[in-house]
Amino acid sequence: MGVFDTLGISASGLLAHRKWLDAVSDNISNINTATSTSQSAFKERFIEAQAVNYGSGEGGVRVATAQFGSGQGRVVYEPKNPLADKNGYVRYPDIDLGDQMAQLIMAQRGYQANLAVIDRATKTYQAALQLGKG
């Protein structure tokens, strides 16, 4: 157990939520990325969070892995698209914008909660560092 453990634990929370924000922004920026029907669509990115040494003391969170959604997407009739196959179809990723926006808010609020802990812990530690000066 270190001296300023709380800060490190909150920093791990910041990192995990920032990676989640990155995944959401990747998904949203590719929401209209068309591919030809012979290729797989852009795959939605998911972040899998995991507690560090759950129940054994160390504490914190880490991103265990990134998972990817289906590459099947949805097939759209767009005969003027240069990527269209001979029947006039292209493939778009099957990403729900409403779902992504909800995830964006959750990740943002989680990030803010961790920042608030860092702020509070810093104030507490600063008070401790004044001990014996008065």
Reading the block at residue 125, the tokens are 């530690």
**What amino acid occupies position 74?**
R
Binding flag, residue 20, another protein (CB under 8 A): yes
Binding flag, residue 65, another protein (CB under 8 A): no
Binding flag, residue 24, another protein (CB under 8 A): no
Closer by beta carbon to another protein, 80 or else 123 = 123
Rg of the Cα trace of the chain? 22
Binding flag, residue 49, another protein (CB under 8 A): yes
Q: Point out which residues bind another protein (CB under 8 A).
A: 1, 5-7, 9-10, 12-13, 16-17, 20, 49-51, 54-55, 57, 59-61, 106-107, 110, 113-114, 116-117, 120-121, 123-124, 127-128, 130-132, 134
